[in-house]
Amino acid sequence: MPTLTRDHFIPQGGTIGIIGGGQLGQMMALDAKYAGMKTIILDPTPDCPAGQCADDQLVAPYDDRRAIEELAARADVLTYEFENVDLAALEAVADQVELPQGTELLRITKDRLREKSFLRDAGLSTAPFRAVKNAAELTAALEEIGYPSVLKTCEGGYDGHGQVVLKSAADLAGCDAILATKNCILEGWVDFDLECSVMVARNANGEVVTFPVSENIHQNEILHLSIVPARISEELQDRAQEMAKRIARKLDLKGILGVEMFVKEDGAIYVNELAPRPHNSGHFSIEACDFSQFALHNRAICNWPLPAPTLLKPAVMVNVLGQHQKGAAALIKQKPTWHFHDYGKAESRINRKMGHVTILTDDLDATIEEIAATHLWDN
């Protein structure tokens, strides 16, 4: 069993246990290997993306208590790459292995109502919201919040799943599946000028740093482009980064956190969601910064000193979904300066994230036009 260290410092040669074997776990494992760390993945899919580059993989469901106990016994520190982790299982091994992120961060971010309440109580602006458990409560909430609004499941939704936009009473017919969960939230619509996000990292020593602000453009509720730096004023960028740091301190964060935000035309910034892990919109950092979001996450959970990441060059990141995969591979011969990433997923599906491309540039607008000119991402 690992010996718990007083200052949580995990030296080179230590083992990071990662719950989840997708692309985020893969990029954590790759960075860990560069830094001289070992990794063990827990994921039910053999040869999952993270398992392909880790030192070992435990093939078991995420809520398998014995597997999590084995992972804890073999690792010096535990982390996760997604929110749907069994909290009770983590709490059961908290005295056996370093668990720097703890369980309170997951408890808050797993549930949209708790998350919004935390943000409101921390003095940050969010969309108006109400808890909803049934059709009657939805009717009452709509009387307060009005249309347009968004009904979401409190747990489990992602990339547009588990939510429905309500523009009028005619859209209520599409709410049955979400209401059936009996644990929902109605959020008012924020008329924003653009969406952005900030990746913020903090270690056990209280050092906190942020990445440059990313401007995010979505298609069909899935992130399409991340543009860095965001095309907003320096004053707004500074304010967004300070908001992210405030959230990190309030959460006693140890690791990295994605803070998704709405920026209104008048300059008001609303916090939309939190991601207690590396985030899709931070992938640009692998090539565009001197330290990636994965490097800072691993450093933070191992309580290494945290450098303030520097943007070496502006960048645009574009997601490669299942329907884009073959076309993106064909572009390799035409785009020598593009950085192509493929996650090694066994099954390609429409709207499934299969990889991404990062382009370093001196002209963001021209690069966005270059991406559009391929017509690969028209659907």
Q: Which of 284, 327, 315, 199 is nearest to 27 (CA)?
A: 284
- Third-level CATH fold of 194-378: D-amino Acid Aminotransferase; Chain A, domain 1 (3.30.470)
pLDDT at residue 157 in the model: 66
pLDDT at residue 1 in the model: 44
For residue 258, give Cα distances in angstroms to 109, 183, 272, 296, 367: 11, 24, 11, 13, 25
CB 248 within 8 A of CB 256: no
Secondary structure (H, E, C), 308-336: CCCECCCEEEEEEEHHHHHHHHHHCCCCC
Superfamily grouping for domain 128-188? ATP-grasp fold, A domain (3.30.1490.20)
User: Euclidean distance between the first and final Cα of the chain, in Å?
Assistant: 50
Q: Give the up-direction half-sphere exposure of residue 8: CA atoms within 13 A in the CB hemisphere.
A: 22
CB 78 within 8 A of CB 15: no
Give the whole-angstrom CA distance, residue 182 versus residue 135: 10
Give the whole-angstrom CA distance, residue 318 versus residue 341: 10
Please state whether the peptide bond connecting residue 229 to the residue before it is cis, i.e. omega within 30 degrees of 0: yes
Give the domain ranges of the chain. 15-99, 128-188, 194-378
Q: What is the CATH number of domain 15-99?
A: 3.40.50.20
Q: Do 15-99 and 194-378 have matching folds?
A: no
Residue whose structure tokens are 């017919």 = 173
How do the pLDDT tens digits run along the chain, 379 residues long? 444 444 689 999 999 999 999 999 999 999 999 999 999 999 999 999 999 999 999 999 998 999 999 999 999 999 999 887 889 999 999 999 999 999 999 999 999 999 999 999 999 999 999 999 999 999 999 999 999 999 999 987 665 678 899 999 999 999 999 999 999 999 999 999 999 999 999 999 999 999 999 999 999 989 999 999 999 999 999 999 999 999 999 999 999 999 999 999 999 999 999 999 999 999 999 999 999 999 999 999 999 999 999 999 999 999 999 999 999 999 999 999 999 999 999 999 999 999 999 999 999 999 999 999 999 999 7
Enter the DSSP assignment of 233. Answer: -
